[in-house]
Amino acid sequence: MTDFIRHERLLPAGEIDRIARDAPLDLIRFQDVAATIPLEERPTMRDWLDRFNAGL
């Protein structure tokens, strides 16, 4: 994905580099926190996407 963003010049090179560097760590942290929430209390993917798209 970052190759596409870089090729299309959708973001400055420094921002693309930051995404490539930090995104995997941020995802792992997110997964660690999500794992502490009991499965039956986690939002559905649809609910999560709706909240994400709403910027909540």
pLDDT at 23: 87
What are the tens digits of pLDDT across the range 7-54? 999 999 999 999 889 988 988 898 899 899 999 998 898 998 998 899
Provide the CB-side half-sphere exposure for 38 (13 A, CA).
2
16 near 5, Cβ under 8 Å?
yes
Can you tell me whether residue 44 is helix, strand or coil?
coil
Each domain of the chain, given as residue ranges in start order, spans 2-54
Provide the CB-side half-sphere exposure for 35 (13 A, CA).
6
| Opening angle at CA 46, ends 40 and 50, nearest 5 | 120
Within 10 Å of residue 17's Cβ, how many Cβ atoms? 13
